[in-house]
Amino acid sequence: MTDIKLKIKNTLLIAAIIFAASATSSAQVRTMSNEFLSIGVGASSLGMSNSYVARVNDVTAGYWNPAGLLGVQSNVQIAAMHSEYFQGMVKYDYAGIASKLDSNSAIGFSYIRAGVDGIMNTLELMDADGNINYDNIKEFSAVDNAFLFSYARKSKIKGLRYGANVKVIYRKVGSFANAWGFGLDAGAQYRLKKWDFAVMARDVTSTFNAWSFSFTDAEQAVLVSENNEVPENSLEITLPKMILGVSRKLQIKEHFTIITEIDMDFTFDGMRNAVLKSNVVSMAPHMGIEFGYHNLVFLRGGVGHIQQYTELDAVKTKVQPNIGVGIKIKNLTIDYALTNVGGVSVAPYSNLFSLKLDINKRS
């Protein structure tokens, strides 16, 4: 019985830490806030280590850089992706749709969901007399949702196009907590001869998540009895992040193409383990390349998550390589990527698949 109670106590403690981690009496900046929006969408871009803000020209631009929506050539383009991380514990899904309003403007909508399902709630496992009742164990989910409404427009300046996202965040942890968040993204692309340049500012005005918590009297009593803090309503702030990118497309003979891109991510939420870092700003580069044949078959690769670490008093550098392939069959594109969410030391690699479909009106 002692071992069972110890396991129960540890489970309750872990659950309480998860909830209390978001608790605070006043607004504060959180480095990891809304990090599910940093994973990326579309296997084609993930195969290139997320190096995509300059070259993106399809429906996924609603996430990467809304200015790229003007590159959609069909009347309507839709895309979807499903992936799983941490050996299937975390489900990550994306769906998007985009359409041109006219030759100078386009709109898009993107939905992103990251969730952990089937979490055991053991807060009411023991009754007031200390008796264990396994029938009181219930399952709940911790889910993050993002809704992106995108608009893009050509500038009067030749080669320049720009766009913006209105971002709505809804996060929910069972019946215990939920949060609504709002923010804005802005991006631009500029083509100069064979070069493409881009800037993408995420959470340009900062994104605010307002958390509210709700526990029953019995649940609060369990948390207090385990010497854990009961979370209170709070406010999270996600600081801006800026991405600069440059891309070049080369035509090799008649049917072969090579596209390369280098991106630099600038964060302003404190020192990160990046190539360039300080208490004010950190910069992390990543790069990718795509080989294409006849606009039908594509082979991709990239490197990112370049970080330094210490081993036996020696400073070493590690990188995360990604690879991917794609095939286009008439109006359907199927892409695959082998990648993960944050470096080999964080999680094993995952297999990702995404689909993209072009829909044209009948003449």
- DSSP calls for 223-265: HHHTT-PPP--EEEEEPPEEEEEEEEEEEETTTEEEEEEEEEE
For residue 15, the model assigns a pLDDT of: 45
Query: Which two structure tokens, joined as six digits, stand for 322?
Result: 């990604």
Q: Answer yes or no: are the C-beta atoms of 303 and 315 closer than 8 Å.
A: no
Taking the C-alpha atoms of residue 299 and residue 57, their distance in angstroms, rounded to an integer, is 18
The values of phi and psi at residue 37, to 5°, are -85, 0
The CATH number of whichever domain residue 28 belongs to comes to 2.40.160.40
DSSP state of 73: -
CB atoms within 10 A of CB 183: 24
pLDDT for 212-247, tens place per residue?
888 777 666 666 766 667 677 778 888 899 999 999
Per DSSP, the chain holds a count of helices (H) and strands (E) of 4, 17
pLDDT for 278-311, tens place per residue?
888 999 999 999 999 999 999 999 998 887 777 7
Query: Which two structure tokens, joined as six digits, stand for 40?
Result: 């990326």
For residue 226, the model assigns a pLDDT of: 65
For residue 276, the model assigns a pLDDT of: 84
| Paired sense of beta strands 234-238 and 28-29, if any | parallel
Q: What would the mean pLDDT of 78-95 be, rounded to a whole number? A: 88
Q: Answer yes or no: are the C-beta atoms of 305 and 40 closer than 8 Å.
A: no
Sign of the Cα pseudo-torsion (63, 69, 73, 76, in order): positive
Sign of the Cα pseudo-torsion (345, 347, 353, 355, in order): negative
The whole-chain average pLDDT of the chain stands at 84
For residue 26, the model assigns a pLDDT of: 43
Q: How confident is the model at residue 130 (pLDDT cuts 50, 70, 90)?
A: low
One-letter amino acid for residue 282 of the chain? S
Residues of the chain with pLDDT > 70, as a percent, come to 81
What is the DSSP annotation of 161-198? EEEEEEEEEEEEETTTEEEEEEEEEEEEEEEETTEEEE
CB atoms within 10 A of CB 107: 17
CB atoms within 10 A of CB 361: 7
pLDDT higher than 50, residue 21: no
Taking the C-alpha atoms of residue 6 and residue 26, their distance in angstroms, rounded to an integer, is 34
Count the domains in the chain.
1
One-letter amino acid for residue 198 of the chain? A
The whole domain housing 303 covers 2-359
- Tokens 């709002």 belong to residue: 182
